[in-house]
Amino acid sequence: MLYFSTFLFSFVAIGALLPLGALSLPSTDHTSPVLAGPIGKNCTIGSIHEGTPTGKNITIGGVPTYFAAPSKALNNDGGGKKASTKVIMFFGAFSINNELLQDYFATQGYNVLGIDYFFGDPIGLHVSPDLVPFDPTFDLNAWVVKSKNQADAAVPTWIEAVKRRYGSKAKYTAVGYCFGAPYVMDLSATNQVVAGAFAHPSSLTEDHFNRLKKPLLLSCAESDSSFPNKSRRRAEDILAAGHSTYHVQIFSGTTHGFATRGNLTVENELWAKEESARSVIMWFDRFSK
């Protein structure tokens, strides 16, 4: 396992069934106070995990997608009847770490689909681990704007295609890491999912929490410059005031990125990463019955 810093991991991407063609996400109030800050260097540090992904790369709604399927046995309710289909929409960057995480979710009985917002153009193709451009003419800010606009345009069509694939009777959930958190919050402000979850988020405002309709799991690091304790407590106050269904977990000795990029040779980081993943499944199981 290598420990490194790279923007390949940094921009971590980003149910009642709406009528096809009418799918949309609520717009965020951009004047709302920021609670989770934008992508920064704290989003780039992490380790590469070892393993062989068991899922496959497919295309859904014209968007590259990582797909991990449960075994046929897990699609059975134990009594010989086919269980209700359970689907996790995974908002995280294309990386071996996230593929292995999605594979784990699939072993727990879920069809897991992870979107590639960047369409094969991650920032790691353009800059070094120290964020130095390989080409001195490369414009990082322009790449960020392009990628964000591209992601925002792709998400609704992708979600619509996912729902067309599994139908109106499936139980849809969504989990996001870092940059994926806003997409989960947008979905959780609608009836498109039965529950949402995020870990070490970025780019969230108070409006995201005020609009929440569905149960939310917040998997948080003890020390997170993107989502500091003051912001987390403010988010909790908003959720409590709104009588939301939510659960907050905080892992001691962890920092931003622990749930996807932790150093697995460190016992505490390994435990926190695995417990966060288990908690996501238990949370989704609770609302996917």
Pick the catalytic residue: 178, 200, 208, 220?
A: 178
Pick the catalytic residue: 49, 200, 208, 256?
A: 256
Pick the catalytic residue: 103, 186, 207, 224?
A: 224
Distances in Å between the Cα of 185 and the Cα atoms of 119, 123, 177 are: 23, 24, 11
Rounded CA separation 220/178 (Å):
11
Pairing of the two strands 86-91 and 171-177: parallel
Buried b (16+ CB within 10 A) or exposed e, 186-207: bbbbbebbbbbbbbbbbbbbbb
Rounded CA separation 289/278 (Å):
17
* Known active-site residue 77: no
* Known active-site residue 178: yes
DSSP 8-state symbol, 127: B
DSSP 8-state symbol, 192: S
CA nearest neighbour of 36 among 217, 224, 188? 224
Tokens representing residue 115 in the block: 């979107």
* Known active-site residue 43: no
Which residues form the catalytic set?
178, 224, 256
